């Protein structure tokens, strides 16, 4: 019996020095927040997370600046309660900025966004003896853009969904509509596939009879098209 061989295995261990006060940055620099559609809806809250890496010693204050835009104003479209700062306690790795989103009074413009900019952190309690342990901001992660987008009311969504699933006329209209600013190739393909488009317009919308009617007719059409493709070689003298 052969003796078992012992294979050499290398293990890489990364040790992070938690004796430092840490570096701070947003976990994500781009956010999209859904805002209430009407004044009857309640305020919605959206949280932006700030992460502390490469150390977690001591209490650190991280101030931030709120940068409004022309169509996104503090107090009108959103509010952030409290002082513009996050206090990280000793051994705390993350903090959050809570944004209260206000309902829209009029139709939302396209560019509703605000920016949050982290400023130089301030050490509140000394907990490290290292000279290079001072808290810092991560340059690539110190600016966060939050875009406010109106959320569709539930009843409006259900109405549009029902219309899309049950409206035969809307289905035909969508099938026969050319793409915006079509090029020459799209024009040619549009007219070449017109017979097939008209044929498949006969397939009912999926919302009728629980989708079974559309399923059965679609299967029949697929079988018909398969038969045509199978007959095409002898008719068109196309070699297999």
pLDDT in tens, 134-146: 889 999 999 999 9
Q: Give, for 99, the enclosing helix (H) or strand (E).
A: strand 94-101
- Domains of the chain plus CATH, in order, are 21-151 (2.60.40.2030), 156-236 (no CATH)
> Can you tell me whether residue 209 is helix, strand or coil?
helix
Residue that wins the pLDDT comparison between 113 and 166 = 113
Task: Summarize the confidence of residues 93-104 as an average pLDDT.
Answer: 90
pLDDT tens per residue across span 100-128 = 988 876 666 666 899 999 999 998 876 65
Region of poorest pLDDT, from 87-101, 165-179, 181-195: 165-179
Identify which of 152, 143, 83, 84 has the alpha carbon closest to the alpha carbon of residue 114. Answer: 143
């Amino acid at each position: 019996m052969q003796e078992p061989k012992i294979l050499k295995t290398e293990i890489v261990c990364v040790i992070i020095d938690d004796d430092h006060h840490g570096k701070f940055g947003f976990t994500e620099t781009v956010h999209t927040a859904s805002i209430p559609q009407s004044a009857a809806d309640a305020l919605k809250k959206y949280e932006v997370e700030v992460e502390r890496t490469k150390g977690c010693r001591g209490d650190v204050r991280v101030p931030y600046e709120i940068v409004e835009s022309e169509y996104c104003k503090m107090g009108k479209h959103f509010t952030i309660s409290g002082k513009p700062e996050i206090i990280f306690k000793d051994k705390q790795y993350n903090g959050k900025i809570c944004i209260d989103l206000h309902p829209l009074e009029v139709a939302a413009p396209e560019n509703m966004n605000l920016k949050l900019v982290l400023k130089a952190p301030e050490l509140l309690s000394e907990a490290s003896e290292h000279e290079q342990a001072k808290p810092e901001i991560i340059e690539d992660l110190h600016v966060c853009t939050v875009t406010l987008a109106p959320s569709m009311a539930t009843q409006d969504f259900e109405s549009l969904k029902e219309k899309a699933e049950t409206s035969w006329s809307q289905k035909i209209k969508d099938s026969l509509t050319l793409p915006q600013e079509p090029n020459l190739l799209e024009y040619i393909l549009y007219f070449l596939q017109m017979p097939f488009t008209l044929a498949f317009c006969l397939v009912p919308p999926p919302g009728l009879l629980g989708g079974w009617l559309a399923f059965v007719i679609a299967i029949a059409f697929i079988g018909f098209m398969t038969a045509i493709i199978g007959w095409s070689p002898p008719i068109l003298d196309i070699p297999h």
